[in-house]
Structure 1
């Protein structure tokens, strides 16, 4: 693994290990459409890639029942610790959680009926290869269901990237690869999937203050690059970003678009 890749992976781990308040109303609302549209059945075997705190995995385990099985994988020990605590509280026996890199999974072909990936596919370093893997892991007529964001989503993130660029820091848009229904359709077709459906929903909210918006982005894997700047330049960038957030805010706060894509496809 290259030094740059190691840095990226470590930043993901650091970012998510620090998220002690990850479970909130937004996360559960965002997971609900993915679970509902997958139409899980009793007895199914489910893989939840980048399971995080297990929101989707736990909901799936309750639906597939004792005859079914759910495996959640995540690279973050902090996220998995929260997920395991919830599993214990729920007294679920049909769910297993393992620490693993979602870019490097090893399961037998035809092992699962459904594969989920909620809001995490943009963090994968080789999305095409992962989709090819998932295709192999699925049983005949198995379903893949993932959620991602429109390439124009996350208004505060776009502003953050634009402001960072003015200071010579280039931050990629993680939603560019799968950021439209057409892009999702094309990539899934290339990996062999059929019966592709893309449902869009808006999950926008308001940042109540500029400091919250800054912290949400500067400490993210798609934002920490600004710390390459000198302390003076970083302070200037932060001040200018927060000033723009404040200038564009209303009484409700800064409007943050979260146009989202829920994607479903079936193995041929």
Structure 2
């Protein structure tokens, strides 16, 4: 079995993946919906200080900045320069003055203790290499009574990705399930409680849909930092794996189509 153990190599894959998406927002209703729902649940208020982890193109940071207003402030951090450049263009178009973007590795942040009222992370916690350590940092960065608000996915979520991992394993490639650390409501509860968060809430919602493009599902998985190991196969083996994967996914089709489950947890915890 092969699996990435080189953290620097993994992080470069993350950077390369997201820097290769110059039009990330186009047709990306999924992540926009997750971001909007997270904001709706967390309910930021005017004047608050906000930190948005893995801000990407600012799907959380920008609407949060509009809510907190000129008396508030939003800091968005991301490891991918290409994502931040897209966010900055939107910020300039909207003439927002209360948003700061920082290119940084979210595994290693350095903010003063008790700096923020809310720390957001929309659907990106899975990319961090030490989730517990990151949440401990966030707990320090929060003001007393402050709120952490993030979204993550069930262990069984992203059916197409689950099938991708299973099929890759038959070719000797072990791809760990990135959703496993927070893959159940109880795991979310337990981890936040151990760190010291209180008033923990886990809201479960379904964001699944029917796949319209199985080839796209292959490309997305094979491009991501979680699945790029398959590109190390010899070309003929890679094409064989791709064909077997597409056939396996298509075999799950019903009269409604190919269902891709995305059971999502929206998690809140107070300091």
Bin the TM-score by the shorter chain.
over 0.9
* TM-superposition CA deviations, 1:7-66 (whole Å, max 9, x none): 001000001111233222222211112101111111000000000000100010011010
Residue 113 of structure 1 is matched in structure 2 by: 117
CA RMSD of aligned residues (A): 1.3
1:68 paired to 2:72:
yes
Residue 47 of structure 1 is matched in structure 2 by: 51
Per-residue deviation at 1:243? 1.1
| 1:130-149 correspondence to structure 2 within 5 Å | 130-149=134-153
| 1:73-92 correspondence to structure 2 within 5 Å | 73-92=77-96
Q: 2:10 aligns with which of 3, 8, 31?
A: 8
Q: What is the TM-score with the length of structure 2 in the denominator?
A: 0.95
Residue 37 of structure 2 is matched in structure 1 by: 33
Q: 1:20 aligns with which of 15, 22, 26?
A: 22
* TM-superposition CA deviations, 1:148-170 (whole Å, max 9, x none): 00111000001000000011000
Q: 1:266 aligns with which of 250, 257, 270?
A: 270
1:214 paired to 2:212:
no
Residue 199 of structure 1 is matched in structure 2 by: 203
C-alpha distance in 2 between matches for 1:3 and 1:182:
28
Residue 56 of structure 1 is matched in structure 2 by: 60
The answer (yes or no) to whether the contact 1:208–1:252 under 8 Å persists in 2 is no
Displaced runs of 4 or more, over 6 A: none
Instruction: Provide structure 1 residue ranges, at least 5 long, that are not aligned to the other structure.
Output: none
* TM-superposition CA deviations, 1:95-133 (whole Å, max 9, x none): 111100000100100111100000011111111111110
Structure 1, 106-115 or 2-11: larger mean CA deviation: 2-11
* TM-superposition CA deviations, 1:178-201 (whole Å, max 9, x none): 011100000001111000000011
The answer (yes or no) to whether the contact 1:202–1:258 under 8 Å persists in 2 is yes
Q: How many residues align?
A: 266
C-alpha distance in 2 between matches for 1:3 and 1:262:
29
Q: 1:241 aligns with which of 237, 245, 250?
A: 245
Where 1:245 maps in the other structure, the secondary structure is helix
* TM-superposition CA deviations, 1:181-224 (whole Å, max 9, x none): 10000000111100000001101112213211110111011110
Where 2:203 maps in the other structure, the secondary structure is strand
C-alpha distance in 2 between matches for 1:103 and 1:178:
17
C-alpha distance in 2 between matches for 1:247 and 1:107:
49
Q: What is the TM-score with the length of structure 1 in the denominator?
A: 0.96
The answer (yes or no) to whether the contact 1:113–1:142 under 8 Å persists in 2 is yes
